[in-house]
Chain A
Amino acid sequence: DAGVIQSPRHEVTEMGQEVTLRCKPISGHDYLFWYRQTMMRGLELLIYFNNNVPIDDSGMPEDRFSAKMPNASFSTLKIQPSEPRDSAVYFCASSTTGAGNQPQHFGDGTRLSIL
């Protein structure tokens, strides 16, 4: 059974460039989550979707960040323009329908470096 798939695994780009991170959730999972992990701030929830609809985007740091889920099998997180402080590991996770009693399954992340 395939897990959550993220691409690319690593991204290095220059400040000001647009960055797009991609995620394919586990088939049949209704919830999709985007997290950011840094040494300073730990693991932060950025946004999550239910049935492709954004439910809570209060963790998105600023307007430079946007996320979409055009269908049940694909989501993107976009940063435009990127800044060095956006450097982090970005994780996507998915889970099945439930009242919060199901575990989230994480991808292996995208390590983003903004120069």
Chain B
Amino acid sequence: AQSVAQPEDQVNVAEGNPLTVKCTYSVSGNPYLFWYVQYPNRGLQFLLKYITGDNLVKGSYGFEAEFNKSQTSFHLKKPSALVSDSALYFCAVNSGGANNLFFGTGTRLTVIP
């Protein structure tokens, strides 16, 4: 069975500080991992993905994520948060060969000016 856990419903960070949004996963087989962002009244937007290769993946808007196989984690990071980064963030996973994604419950990020 595949699953994703986002242990924090809410993350608050001051503008300019680094941010981390946590994600752990469980799959049988090699994981394909994704991060999405959702702004109010909008659909989910793709940020970045890990399929294979370098454990540090860079994506849109200065975000990056680190794949850690031993800890089954894929945390989203950004060195310096912007107020405009405030949004709902979703981690998603599938195992190689599957075509449907399993989404976490989402983490609401608030960047405080």
A: residues with CB less than 8 A from B are 4, 31, 33, 42-43, 45, 48, 50, 55-56, 91, 93, 95, 98-101, 103-109, 111
Asked whether A43 lies within 8 Å of B90 as measured between CB atoms, the reply is yes
The chain B residue with its CB closest to the CB of A58 is B100
- In the bound complex, residues from chain B placing their C-beta under 8 Å from that of A107 are 43
**Could you tell me how many residues of chain B have their Cβ less than 8 Å away from some Cβ of chain A?**
23
- Residues of A contacting B36 in the complex (Cβ-Cβ under 8 angstroms): 106
A interface: dominant SS: strand
Which B residues have a C-beta under 8 Å from some C-beta of A?
32, 34, 36, 41-46, 49, 51, 90, 94-101, 103, 105-106
Known interface pairs A4-B43, A91-B43, A101-B32. Does A56 touch B100 (Cβ–Cβ under 8 Å)?
Answer: yes
Known: A100-B94, A107-B43. 9 other contacts (CB 8 A): A45-B100, A98-B99, A99-B97, A100-B32, A100-B95, A100-B99, A100-B100, A103-B49, A108-B43
